[in-house]
Amino acid sequence: MKKAVFVYSPEQLGYKFSDTHPFNHKRLTLTMDLLKNIDALDDSDIVPARVATEEELLLAHDPKYIDIVKKAGHGELSEAQCESYGIGTEDTPIFENMHEASAQLVGGTLTAVDYVMEGKARHALNLGGGLHHGFRGRASGFCIYNDSTVAIRYLQEKYNARVLYVDTDAHHGDGVQWSFYEDPNVCTLSIHETGRYLFPGTGNITERGNGQGYGTSFNFPMDAFTEDESFLDIYKQSMREIFEFFKPDVVLTQNGADAHYFDPLTHLHGTMNIYREIPKLAHQLAHEYCDGKWIAVGGGGYDIWRVVPRAWAMLWLEMTDQTLPIGPLPQAWLDRWQPEAPVPLIPTWEDPSPLYEAIPRKAEIEEKNAQMLAKALHIIRNEKRD
């Protein structure tokens, strides 16, 4: 069995709204080129992303909505006609062949699922996926189809699996959470910047699931300006306790890389350090609890030059048991991309130190986050005591 496969097809780059839109899959090219430059990704590791079938998309989406996406992408509908479906908006504009490109991202995640569940690889990565804001009948926040929701339903139907979904994107994983809000066999864990100011506004600790699914949704909203230590505290404690509580068969992690200080759309103050630690623990717990069954997808990440390639390279390196690098980035990579980058590239795997000015209310923010963590985990800590 292979340690891990890297799912990718050049067609995934077709998911493109415009040249100026913040969601830019050029980050896939930048990440792969970085990995190839350090000889960490071989062509034999790469498997092509298949295209999700319409039947598979229906696991998570309304037929009417799929039809709208198809027509919009073939120039058959105006912006005004699709706006109520969240398409043709400033966040999610219409682009050519948007249905095909979106189905290709979903297919990539399904390819990853099949490799892991059929025992062809211990782990699998589809960086093109992770579109966690997509709803059943509506696009939202740059996301058309929700590949994680489709993949989890697919895991349930085809493999009868109990799935833990872990979302470390700086935005709340609302689309996936609402899909499984009443399902006791899917547990969602989202760590994000508080929705008090940030899109989508949800992800409060009080969102715990409903009906049969009560107690299988977990949210950890962190204050703006949260730094590495506090972020990792929350991540490590919540992961351990929720794995132990839920005992999943398989874990699907969404690895948005927008909690970094440089990210233009969020207000967290993470550094490259969190992107070294996040995959380490996910990897370890997947082996401890799920016989290694770990599927990982991408997600947000809007500083595609300085943050995403280094962060996502670390994810693949961890998955394939390669030593996480320190020191300078390959000069060839820097030379190749610097002319195109609008900002000076970071020349090392680590961020410069200090990366930003000290946060005046650091202690209070940490204290508030710690309180939040205790409240959010209270429900399972209590159960243990009984």
Partner 1 sequence: MIVEEIMNDAPYTLAPSNTVLEALKLMREKKVRHLPVVDEEQHVLGVITERDIKEVLPSSLQDEPNSPVFHAKVEDIMVKDPLIAHPLDFVEEVALTFYESKVGCLPIVSGGKLVGIVTTTDLLYTYIELTGATEPGSKIDIRVSDTPGILFEITKIFHQHHANVQSVLVYPDSENTQNKILSIRVKTLNPLVMIEDLRKEGFDVLWPNLPGVSL
Which residue lies nearer to partner 1 by CB, 327 or 360? 360
Regarding 360 and contact with partner 1 (CB under 8 A), the answer is yes
Regarding 22 and contact with partner 1 (CB under 8 A), the answer is yes
Q: Which of Zn ion, partner 1, none does 195 bind, CB closer than 5 to 8 A by kind?
A: partner 1
Q: Shortest Cβ distance from residue 336 to Zn ion (Å)? A: 27
Q: Shortest Cβ distance from residue 263 to Zn ion (Å)? A: 8
Rounded Cα distance between 133 and 183, Å, is 18
Q: Which of Zn ion, partner 1, none does 360 bind, CB closer than 5 to 8 A by kind?
A: partner 1
Regarding 159 and contact with partner 1 (CB under 8 A), the answer is no
Secondary structure of the chain in HEC code, one letter for each residue: CEEEEEECCHHHHHCCCCCCCCCCCHHHHHHHHHHHHCCCCCHHHEECCCCCCHHHHCCCCCHHHHHHHHHHHCCCCCHHHHHHHCCCCCCCCCCCCHHHHHHHHHHHHHHHHHHHHCCCEEEEEECCCCCCCCECCECECCECCCHHHHHHHHHHHHHCCCEEEEECCCCCCHHHHHHCCCCCCEEEEEEEECCCCCCCCCCCCCCCCCHHHCCCEEEEEECCCCEHHHHHHHHHHHHHHHHHHHCCCEEEEECCCCCECCCCCCCCEECHHHHHHHHHHHHHHHHHHHCCCEEEECCCCCCCCCCHHHHHHHHHHHHCCCCCCCCECCHHHHHHHCCCCCCCCCCECCCCCCCCCCCCCHHHHHHHHHHHHHHHHHHHHHHHHC
Q: CA angle at residue 153 from 148 to 154, to 5 degrees?
A: 95
Helices 147-159 and 98-117: crossing angle in degrees, nearest 10, is: 40
Q: Shortest Cβ distance from residue 186 to partner 1 (Å)? A: 21
Q: Shortest Cβ distance from residue 360 to partner 1 (Å)? A: 4
What character string, x for contact with partner 1 (CB under 8 A) and - otherwise, covers 95-134? --------------------------------------x-
- Using CB under 5 A as the binding rule, the residues of this chain from 295 to 354 that contact Zn ion are 300
Identify the residue among 89, 156, 322, 348 touching partner 1 (CB under 8 A).
Answer: 89
Regarding 256 and contact with Zn ion (CB under 5 A), the answer is yes
Segment interacting with Zn ion (CB under 5 A) among 26-34, 100-108, 164-172, 233-241:
164-172
- Using CB under 5 A as the binding rule, the residues of this chain from 168 to 197 that contact Zn ion are 169, 171
Q: Which of partner 1, Zn ion, none does 169 bind, CB closer than 5 to 8 A by kind?
A: Zn ion
Which residue lies nearer to Zn ion by CB, 171 or 260? 171
Identify the residue among 10, 119, 201, 344 touching partner 1 (CB under 8 A).
Answer: 201
Identify the residue among 47, 101, 251, 265 touching partner 1 (CB under 8 A).
Answer: 265
Count residues binding partner 1 (CB under 8 A). Answer: 27
Regarding 225 and contact with partner 1 (CB under 8 A), the answer is yes
Regarding 197 and contact with partner 1 (CB under 8 A), the answer is yes
Q: Shortest Cβ distance from residue 160 to Zn ion (Å)? A: 23
Contact present, 107 and 50 (Cβ < 8 Å): yes
Regarding 359 and contact with partner 1 (CB under 8 A), the answer is yes
Regarding 16 and contact with partner 1 (CB under 8 A), the answer is no
Q: Positive or negative, the Cα torsion across 224, 145, 163, 294?
A: negative
Q: Which of Zn ion, partner 1, none does 133 bind, CB closer than 5 to 8 A by kind?
A: partner 1
Q: Which of partner 1, Zn ion, none does 354 bind, CB closer than 5 to 8 A by kind?
A: none
Q: Which of Zn ion, partner 1, none does 263 bind, CB closer than 5 to 8 A by kind?
A: none
Rounded Cα distance between 168 and 191, Å, is 5
Contact present, 128 and 51 (Cβ < 8 Å): no
- Using CB under 5 A as the binding rule, the residues of this chain from 257 to 286 that contact Zn ion are 258
Rounded Cα distance between 70 and 100, Å, is 8
Binding residues vs partner 1 (CB under 8 A): 22, 83, 89-91, 133, 140-142, 171, 174, 195-202, 224-225, 264-265, 267, 359-361
Binding residues vs Zn ion (CB under 5 A): 169, 171, 256, 258, 300
